[in-house]
Amino acid sequence: MSDEREERLKHVEELKKLGVEPFGNRFDGAQPIRPIVDKYGPETEGKPFTVAGRITGHRSFGKATFLDLRDWTGKIQVYVKKDAVGEAAHAWFQHVGIGDLIAARGTLGKTKTGEVSIFATELTLLTKAIRPLPEKWHGLKDSEIRYRKRYLDLIANPEVLQTFLKRAKAITLIRRFLDGRGYVEVETPMMQSIPGGAAARPFVTHHNTLDRDLYLRIALEIPLKKLMVGGVERVYEIGRVFRNEGIDTNHNPEFTLLELYHAYGNLGTMMELTETLVAQLAMEVAGTTKLSYGDKVIDVTPPWPRKDYHELLKEHAGVDGSSDDALRSKLREKHVETGGLSHIDLVDKVFGEYVEPHLVNATFVCAQPIEMTPLCREIPGRPGIADRFEAFAAGMELANAYTELNDPVVQRERLTRQAKGAGDEMMKSGKVDEDFLSALEHGMAPAGGLGIGIDRLIMFLTGATSIREVILFPLLREPEGP
């Protein structure tokens, strides 16, 4: 037990002796701090206000003390003087310090230095913290501590808290946008007997009562399409998906995905929806459609340019994607291992290495090889080319959309071919989702479909350069040591 923790426990006992509950009770009436500070003026000066929050600064000068009090909206100074709060309150106040939560009521004014402050007349102890905040709490920078102990990160770095409040706001706005366009939100199972909707390695779990293995979902697509067959013509889900794959600045094994489907729509429907949604989110969350990301300013004002996948390969990699030898040569230049990669894997990796870094401005990349997208329609008159886009900005893929394949015969051929592919981790069981194919055989309307990675979208909207900055509790390696 640290010396400071022991000292704080002693303060807890002293507070009890004074008849003060160290861990508080319900407290009503506190007002958000930031509006008080922002709206300070002749109309509010001298008026009573009540605030509550955590003490993040404590400067004592005998009978007078200045506190920095912070809630989730901002910070205000509280001036505490013995004569103003009374003998009893001042007695227990001697056992209060940085990290503790209190409420203060008093009149609003400015100190001699011009700082907006609450001149306290009443104090209430809400919670005595028995562990100290990290040293230099206002400068907590160690990423391992920040991610493992996010609660300390939120206290120490107010801008981090604001990022997550913006995330919450953005998700609320997405729901409002889609609801306003007539989409219906649903919830579908996270455990599935056959993982589908994406090419990814799933997490496996076991259901004891049924004595069967199940998979955590890797996508939302299949159950949502079944609902479209059933007549839910505009449907969406925002939910967690799980892919048992690598971790880097753009990937976390557990992430949040938006998927939606629009009966009688197509890829054009999804383009308009995507660029309109992102532009509106940018205005609401960042206050502008010209977003700063690193040293770039990216304009998301619609319409976004449409670019052809194969033309981009030729422009930036000097290959057309037809020759394996040429593709392997380009990857060797980037020191990328090519052993065991299929033709379509080689194409995809070359695109990632040579093209994606150039996709800084908001762009729709269209017409990918159909082998990448077994659930997508081909472009009429262009066999082998998918009626698909990937939306990129800041070199990241933000969204993926199709004109959906609703031909059950072609869908069966593609899924059967995929199931026989030895390299597909998601299909190693060799199973084809017969229930999905049965649903399609009952008739699914022509449709457009869209998937947006919420975490990457929030990265883009807030300027974060790592996905861990926008996921409250990212998956981390086990800490070293005993």
The closest alpha carbon to 119, from 26, 62, 44, 35, belongs to 44
If asked whether residues 99 and 206 sit together in one domain, one would say no
**End-of-domain residue from the set 132, 164, 192:** 132
What was the pLDDT predicted at 1? Answer: 52
Q: Answer yes or no: is 351 within a domain.
A: no
What was the pLDDT predicted at 56? Answer: 94
Mean pLDDT of the chain: 94
Q: What is the DSSP string of 275-320?
A: HHHHHHHHHHHHSSSEEEETTEEEE-PSPPPEEEHHHHHHHHHS--
Give dist(CA 313, CA 319) in Å, integer: 6
If asked whether residues 35 and 182 sit together in one domain, one would say no
At 410-441, the pLDDT tens digits run 999 999 988 876 444 444 456 889 999 999 99
**Residue that is written with structure tokens 């969406």 in the block:** 236
Confidence (pTM)? 0.93
CATH number of the domain at 65, please.
2.40.50.140
Q: Answer yes or no: is 312 within a domain.
A: no
**End-of-domain residue from the set 132, 167, 186:** 132
At 260-300, the pLDDT tens digits run 999 999 999 999 999 999 999 999 999 999 999 999 999 99
Which domain covers residue 256, as residue numbers? 155-305+361-469
What was the pLDDT predicted at 216? Answer: 97
Q: What are the phi and psi torsion angles at 70 (to 5°)? A: -125, 130
- Strand order through the sheet with 363-366: 184-185, 234-242, 254-263, 447-453, 396-403, 388-393, 363-366, 306-308
Give dist(CA 310, CA 312) in Å, integer: 5
Provide the number of structural domains found in the chain: 2
What was the pLDDT predicted at 151? Answer: 94
Q: What's the CA angle centered on 197, arms 421 and 351, to 5 degrees? A: 70
Q: Token pair for residue 158? A: 């107010």
At 67-97, the pLDDT tens digits run 999 999 999 999 999 999 999 999 999 999 9
Cβ-proximal residues to 153 (8 Å cutoff; 6+ apart), any chain: 140, 145, 146, 147, 160
At 235-260, the pLDDT tens digits run 999 999 999 998 999 999 999 999 99
If asked whether residues 127 and 267 sit together in one domain, one would say no
What was the pLDDT predicted at 137? Answer: 47
At 433-463, the pLDDT tens digits run 999 999 999 999 999 999 999 999 999 999 9
Q: Answer yes or no: is 194 within a domain.
A: yes
Give dist(CA 312, CA 449) in Å, integer: 24
If asked whether residues 128 and 34 sit together in one domain, one would say yes
If asked whether residues 127 and 162 sit together in one domain, one would say no
**End-of-domain residue from the set 132, 163, 192:** 132
If asked whether residues 127 and 200 sit together in one domain, one would say no
Q: Answer yes or no: is 336 within a domain.
A: no
Say if residues 466 and 474 touch (Cβ distance below 8 Å).
Answer: no
CATH number of the domain at 430, please.
3.30.930.10
Q: Answer yes or no: is 355 within a domain.
A: no
If asked whether residues 70 and 159 sit together in one domain, one would say no
Q: Token pair for residue 189? A: 């199972």
